Amino acid sequence: MAALQQTLRGSVCLPGEAGYDDARTIWNAMIDRHPGMAVRCRGAADITNAVRFAREHGLLLAVRGGGHNIAGNAVCEGGLLIDLSQMRSVRVDPTRRTARVEPGATLGDFDKEAQAFGLATPLGINSTTGVAGLTLGGGFGWLGRKFGLTADNLISADVVTADGKLLQASASDNSDLFWALRGGGGNFGVVSSFEFRLHPVGPMVLSGLIVYPFARAKELLSGYRRVAAKAPDELTVWVVLRQAPPLPFLPPEVHGKEVLVFALCYAGDEGAGKSALEPLRALGEPIAEMIGMQPYAAWQTAFDPLLTPGARNYWKSHNFLELSDGLIDILASYAARLPTPECEIFIAQLAGATSCVPLDATAYPHRDANFVMNVHTRWREPADDRRSIDWARQLFAETAPHATGGVYVNFMPEDESDRVSSAYGANYARLAALKAKYDPDNLFRLNQNVRPAAAQRPAA
């Protein structure tokens, strides 16, 4: 370990030492693991040396980027933790419209730099999410319908593979690895740098919330699916079913009561955006509406207060081709009996540019999904664990007959290792073969793990 420290720009932290708890603490408070050591990296050479050290000493290896990982695989019990959270540089080239981003950067870091030039790439909806995990799983948010997934906008990546080599992956270099990185999660190495394509966005966008009484939830969801089917790609509308937080624009008598919320963003001209919103507004009189032109970077932080670190979290997710009447009935039934005030059901709208890419063009395969449900169960006290998790699992089970069977890998909790093949569908066999090529011993196994192809063959 002393020899390892001498090779690093960063530092090695042991339990009880300064920086150790910062490295091991992630967003989901249900995860409280204690690695044997943490390497807090400052550059690609640190990552390379840490990977070699873990391989040579047979150590369990975890990789932590932004620390927003729901499954908790970003931290190991015992073993070695590679902590990338101090590598947060974002360098924008406004002429080429590209950005070079380090793996510890958050969405907020990226957006602030890119928006200084009126540029953006499609990211998620919470500014504290890490760019690395989002990208490696696919990545979607407010701009995806117009510009594709986060992974679709990846130009190249520098990757430390299991043998300790630093490779560049792109359409022209190690193209098979580049294919796998775009949706294959952390199975293939540690990315030390991402290069993204940028698009003109903002800096002001038409965005905001429309809040409706929960009593009209079924009617509104039925109307929403009609609006979504005809919406231009510039318009993205997500649905949130939850108890109303004490937001200043909501009447006090609504606080703590179930509501249906349309959260929306229009990536285009203000006038065209207002016209595109008319069918949504025609669904009826809301409790409150807060829509207007605001900085895109500010809108990216809109859900941050509802997703702060330190709460206990458990998610369940399905992909849907449509919001059928039966599905709408189930969603309304479960939203009427949320186990805690912070629980919510998100329905994300996809299609548009995300569906224009062939399913085998990247590791992410769910190009047919029009909607993604995230059952976001969130609470504070361990005593609420069982009822909160049971509620999520029951909702998940009842909605399964209406789903495609696929799932977005970044929404999978730790106990869903049996769904990994569903997460990759027809692309799984190719991923397993590439895993055997780049990580035959499965060093990078603390993730939604794709096992090396050879490990899946029956014994002779």
pLDDT of residue 390: 98
* Amino acid (1-letter code) at residue 43: G
25 HSE (CA, 13 A, CB side): 8
Q: Which pLDDT band holds residue 456 (cuts at 50, 70, 90)?
A: very low
Rounded to whole angstroms, the Cα distance separating 322 from 229 reads 9
User: What does the pLDDT look like over 398-441, one tens digit per residue?
Assistant: 999 999 999 999 999 999 999 999 899 999 999 999 999 999 99
User: What does the pLDDT look like over 159-176, one tens digit per residue?
Assistant: 999 999 999 999 999 999
User: What does the pLDDT look like over 240-277, one tens digit per residue?
Assistant: 999 999 988 999 999 999 999 999 999 999 999 999 99
The encoded tokens of residue 388 equal 């909160």
3-class DSSP string for 367-427:
CCCCEEEEEEEEECCHHHHHHHHHHHHHHHHHHHHHCCCCCCHHHCCCCCHHHHHHHHHHH
Question: Which residues have C-beta within 8 Å of that of residue 144, sequence separation ≥ 6?
Answer: 122, 150, 236, 350, 352, 353, 354
- Give the domain 90-200 fold: 3.30.465
pLDDT of residue 459: 42
Per-residue pLDDT averaged across 373-393, rounded?
97
pLDDT of residue 349: 98
pLDDT(285) > 70:
yes
The CA-based dihedral angle spanning residues 204, 205, 206, 212, taken in that order and rounded to the nearest 10 degrees: -110
pTM, full prediction: 0.95
pLDDT of residue 69: 84
Q: Which pLDDT band holds residue 236 (cuts at 50, 70, 90)?
A: very high
Sign of CA dihedral 114, 115, 120, 123: positive
Q: Where exactly are the structural domains of the chain?
A: 2-83, 90-200, 204-411
CATH of 204-411, one of 3.40.50.620, 3.40.462.20, 3.30.200.20, 3.40.640.10: 3.40.462.20
* Amino acid (1-letter code) at residue 446: L
User: What does the pLDDT look like over 106-118, one tens digit per residue?
Assistant: 999 999 999 999 9
Per-residue pLDDT averaged across 289-318, rounded?
95
pLDDT(455) > 90:
no
> Distance from first CA to last CA of the chain, Å, rounded?
40
What class has domain 2-83? alpha beta
- The closest alpha carbon to 206, from 146, 270, 142, belongs to 270
pLDDT(312) > 70:
yes
Angle at CA 32, nearest 5°, toward 28 and 37?
120
389 HSE (CA, 13 A, CB side): 13
- The closest alpha carbon to 46, from 15, 14, 77, 11, belongs to 11
